[in-house]
Structure 1
Amino acid sequence: MRLKRCVAPVIAALIGVAAWSPAQAMGEPPPKALPAEIQDLVKADGVPGIAVVTSDDGRPARQTAAGLADIPANRPMHPDYQFRIASITKTFVATVVLQLVTEHQLTLDQPIAGLLPEPVPNAEQITVRELLNHTSGLFDYSDDPGFNPGATYTPAQLIAMGVEHSPYFAPGTGFRYSSTNYIVLGEIVHQVTGHAIQDEVQSRLIDPLHLSSTTFPTETTAAPRQARGYVFDAPLPPRSGPAIDATTRTSASAAGAAAAMVSTGDDVDRFLGALLGGELFSKDLIAEMERPTPGADAFYAGAGIPGISYGLGLMIAATPCGTAYGSLGDIDGYTSSVMQVGHRRVALFMNTNSLQPSLRQQTLSLAVQELCRAG
């Protein structure tokens, strides 16, 4: 699959976020309790397994799971199992970049010329901010016809694949989601710090926040407690054909700083809480992350997804209980999301990304109902 879809298809599920409203719900029966809802996703819709972690003010509110983490082994899903979190990786990378801004090693509005060994078109005009918020115009390497998601790549090779194509637009003149932006950011971190982006995420975020079930792999292997990821011949529902194991079908190096990380609901919950709670850098920089990017809402509305925008590595969505901030991921065999409104957070993971748009809407609507449920 194409890595630009690591976020975009999951955002399609947020049609349910934007379209749901209390007025619509008034004529409907009360929603089921969450365990019943996720059991329906498994039994009625064919999702192999699902895990949901909810917290209030940093305290666990609910952890639940349904279905199977490994179909042939008949291994039940558990809330603490690991998943490939795809483009939630981008939020980790953006956080490291903003920490470097705090340390005066980078500035948001500096051009990236001189920060990379690889040639990048318009490097004199593209800024760090424009990479973070997808306004650089750089072509998405995963759209290159020769891109093989199962192959092994270096970051330089992925960048070269992207810059072989003309930019979508001049820097700062439009919005276009592109994983190339985050591969470039990972290389900038490497050049500035002398350490690979994986090492910086480890030392700055994973270790200090005690994210013991989170990894940033460079080689494609399944983690010890990782749910197997599955794809199907046709989008669910109904389930048709065999469940094809895609756990390692997309290589870690092909995903890189755009989508390679593995984590759990509890860990991404803790990370997002620390980030939005001001533990990782100043409130001023959090406000920069949360500021909607001009053109992002129109981009998503044009894709049939009103009510969605994008900041600096953060998704922004309208919900019935307020504006949600968080991150979403979609990669071969896995769908992930983590969102926060106020001090309530919900992380929802599934071990498939073979979903019809209606099922994506249903799934994220379920997450929003849980997010907006009274504590």
Structure 2
Amino acid sequence: MTRAEILVRQGEDFIVDNATETLYQLASVSKQFTAAATLLLVEDGTLVLDDPVGRWIDDCPEEWRDITLHHLLTHTSGLGHWDDYPMIDLAQRVEPSELLKTFHCVPLQYPPGEGWSYSSPAYVLLAHVVERAADTPYRAFLADRIFDHLGLTETFAGAPGARPNLARGHDAEGRPLPTWELDVVGMGAGDVWSTAKDVLAWLDALQDGRLLSEPYRTLMLTERARTGKGPDESGYGYGVFVGELNGRQWWHHSGHNAGFKAYAASIPELGRRIVILSNTEATDASTLEPLLA
């Protein structure tokens, strides 16, 4: 099913139907790529999961001393989510150093490793770690080590510039919404654009071990921390929720940026996957989970 979007150009309205080649923001499904990028550098020997974040991020507060990359990957660092940083405008670009200072000034919710709370800022920090450890821009690292390597030709990270075939985000009533900023504020947390076909190929490549060798593939796709959210979503791996659906193991993640909803899931035992990409706030992807059963 496609959705017509209204684009305004030079005072005229054009109706553009979304198609199979349309690119959507993956929102927090992007965290899978951030986790994979981190694990690639662990596999290379450049990073260690027990590395303190302060080894790679300058001027961290003393309170962050015990935060490791593992804590960032599993949402057990004590860092909050966007609602805990009301001073950050998700649609407004800031200098990376200023964004990091803002993260530094908000107290942790609990000592590292002693709780679980979903945190997009934690994944922004991971993107900075990847960038510094690899000595290359984050989006370029994703392109070289993941997208190009796996043949994901319609996938990229960050602001799109003049790229074609982009969906435009809408609110629940169908009105266009301004996009969130993806090069700095959303980097690593919700910055990837892709098509349904590419995301499906990504799920298969990740599950089949065509990107990460063992034990890193298993580390990513199995429980590393308890979320306490119930049997269907009982744990978090690295960049994915894990649990059981009708007695079968599965892994999945949803995403929500302004005007975009995304969902990607896999039940390996059945060889069943689902990818939902939408450019309207009206979409509730969770209602389609029974398709996996």
Partner of residue 119 from structure 1, selected from 60, 83, 86: 60
Whole-Å Cα distance in 1 between the matches of residues 17 and 82 of structure 2? Answer: 37
TM-aligned CA distance change 1:349 to 1:158, over 3 Å: same
Question: How far did 1:203 drift?
Answer: 0.5
Deviation at residue 127 of structure 1 after TM alignment: 1.1
SS of alignment partner, residue 277 of structure 2: strand
Amino acid at match of 1:250: W
Equivalent residues of 2:23, 2:165 under 8 A apart? yes
Of 194, 198, 210 in structure 1, the residue corresponding to residue 135 of structure 2 is 194
Which residue pairs with 2:244 in the alignment?
Answer: 318
In the TM superposition, residue 96 of structure 1 has moved relative to its aligned partner by 0.7
| Contact 1:216 1:260 survives alignment (8 Å) | yes
1:365 aligns with 2:287: yes
- 1:273 matches 2:204: yes
The CA distance in 2 between the partners of 1:145 and 1:288, in whole Å, is: 33
How far has the Cα of 1:156 moved from its partner? 2.8
Q: Distance in 2 between matches of 1:87 and 1:97?
A: 16
Structure 2 CA distance, aligned partners of 1:81 and 1:163? 38
**Residue of structure 2 in register with 1:341 after alignment:** 267
Aligned to 1:43: none
Give yes or no for contact 2:124–2:185 (8 Å, CA) kept in 1: no
CA RMSD of aligned residues (A): 2.1
More deviation in 287-296 or 254-263?
A: 287-296
Structure 1 counterpart SS, 2:187: helix
Matched residues, percent identical? Answer: 24
Note closer, same or farther for the CA distance 1:97–1:78 as it changes in structure 2 (3 Å cut): same
Distance in 1 (alpha carbons) for counterparts of 2:245 and 2:6: 33
Instruction: Report 1 or 2 for greater relative contact order, CA contacts < 8 Å, sequence distance ≥ 6.
Output: 1
1:288 aligned residue: 219
**Aligned pairs, number:** 284
| Cα distance change, pair 141–366 in 1 and its aligned pair in 2 (3 A) | closer
Contact 1:88 1:259 (8 Å CA) reproduced: yes
Give the aligned partner of residue 262 of structure 1. Answer: 193
Tell me the TM-score normalized by structure 2: 0.89
How many angstroms apart in 2 are the aligned matches of 1:330 and 1:229? 11
2:245 partner amino acid = T
Q: Which moved more, 1:271-280 or 1:118-127?
A: 118-127
Write the distance in 2 (CA, Å) between the matches of 1:157 and 1:273. 38
C-alpha displacement of 1:221: 4.3
Q: Within 2, Cα distance between the matches of 1:312 and 1:223? A: 30
Tell whether the 8 Å contact from 2:80 to 2:118 is kept in structure 1 after alignment: no
CA distance in 1: counterparts of 2:202 and 2:248, whole angstroms? 21
Deviations 1:226-271 (A, max 9, x none): 1221014xxxxxx5xxx2211x431223211111111111111111
Q: Contact 2:169/2:179 (CA < 8 Å) preserved in 1?
A: no
User: 3-state SS of the aligned residue for 2:188?
Assistant: helix
Q: Which has the larger radius of gyration?
A: 1
Tell me which of 297, 301, 307 is aligned to 2:232: 307
Alignment of structure 1 residues 82-97 onto 2, 5 Å = 82-97=23-38
Q: Which runs of 5+ in 2 are unaligned?
A: 8-12
Shift of 1:175: 0.5
Contact 2:265-2:275 at 8 Å conserved across structures: yes
Runs of 4+ deviating beyond 6 Å: none
Structure 2 distance, partners of 1:365, 1:222, is 34
Counterpart amino acid of residue 72 in structure 2 = L
Equivalent position of 2:255 in the other structure:
329
- Partner amino acid, structure 2, of 1:245: P
Deviations 1:277-316 (A, max 9, x none): 11112232222112324431x1x35xxxx62131111122
- Displacement, 1:83? 0.4
SS at match of 2:2: strand
Deviations along 1:149-185, one digit per CA (max 9) or x if unpaired, are 2211233322222221110100110101111111111
Mapped to 1, the partners of 2:166 and 2:23 lie a distance apart of: 4
Against the structure 1 CA distance between its residues 353 and 208, is the aligned structure 2 distance closer, same or farther, given a 3 Å change threshold? same
